[in-house]
Chains A and B, each alone.
Chain A
Amino acid sequence: MQFILALIMGAFIGGAAGYIGTLMLSKKMALVAGPLGHLTLPGIALALIYGFDVSLGALPFVIFGIILIWLFEIRTKLPMEALTAVVFASGVAITFLFLPEEKTVPALIGDISQISLIETVISVILALIVFFTTRKIFSKMILTSVSEDLAKVQGMDVKKYNLIYLTCIALIVALGVRVVGGLMTAALVAIPACTSRNLSKNLFQYSYGGMILGSLSCILGILVFEFTGISAGPLIIMTSTLFFLISLIFKR
Chain B
Amino acid sequence: MRIPKEILKVKNLNVKLNGEEIIKDLNFEVREREVLVILGPNGAGKTTLLRTLLGLLPYTGEISWSKKDISYLPPQELFQRKDLSPLSIEEFFKFKKVSSEQILKILKEVGLDSSILKKKFGTLSTGQFQRMIIAWALVDEPSVLLFDEPTSGIDIGGQETIYSLLHKFWEERDLTILLVTHDLNIVWEHANNALCLNKKKLCYGKPKKILTPKNLEKIYGTGIKFYKHAHR
Contacts and interface: CB of A to CB of B under 8 A. Distances in A.
Chain A interface size band reads 20 to 34
Nearest to A201: B86
A139 B121 CA distance: 14
A142 B80 contact: no
A247 interface: no
B72 A146 contact: no
A31 interface: no
A147 B87 contact: no
Nearest to A27: B85
Interface string A162-202: 00000000000000000000000000000000000100111
B227 interface: no
A167 B208 CA distance: 56
B86 A150 contact: no
Contacts of B87: 142, 146, 202-203
Interface string A131-142: 000000001101
Nearest to B120: A201
Nearest to B88: A202
A103 interface: no
B78 interface: yes
B28 interface: no
Nearest to A22: B85
Contact of A202 (B54, B81, B120): B120
Contacts of B226: none
A25 interface: yes
Chain B interface size band reads 20 to 34
B72 A142 contact: no
A147 B70 CA distance: 16
Contacts of A202: 86-88, 90-91, 118, 120
A80 B80 CA distance: 21
Nearest to B146: A153
Interface string A17-43: 000001001101000000000000000
Contacts of A203: 85-88, 91
A204 interface: yes
B67 interface: no
Among B54, B80, B85, the most chain A Cβ lie within 10 Å of the Cβ of B85
A48 to B, nearest CB: 37
A252 B91 CA distance: 18
Interface in B42-78: 51, 54-56, 70-72, 74, 78
Nearest to A200: B86
Contacts of B96: 154
Interface of A is mostly: helix
Contacts of A142: 85, 87, 95
Interface string B78-107: 111101111110111011100000000000
Contacts of B55: 152
A145 B85 CA distance: 9
Contacts of A25: 85
Given A153-B72, A201-B120, A146 B84 contact: yes
Contact of A150 (B74, B88, B120): B74
A81 interface: no
Contacts of B94: 139
A190 to B, nearest CB: 14
A146 B79 contact: yes
Nearest to B91: A203
A205 interface: yes
A145 B84 contact: yes
Given A147-B78, A201-B86, A153 B54 contact: yes
A157 interface: no
Given A146-B121, A153-B71, 13 more contacts: A142-B95, A146-B92, A147-B74, A147-B78, A147-B80, A149-B54, A149-B56, A153-B56, A201-B86, A201-B118, A205-B86, A206-B85, A206-B86
Please list the 9 inter-chain residue pairs (A to B) with the smallest Cβ-Cβ separation, ordered nearest first: A202-B88, A26-B85, A153-B72, A203-B91, A200-B86, A206-B86, A149-B74, A203-B87, A143-B95
Interface of B: 51, 54-56, 70-72, 74, 78-81, 83-88, 90-92, 94-96, 118, 120-121
6 contacts: A140-B95, A142-B85, A146-B84, A150-B72, A153-B70, A252-B86
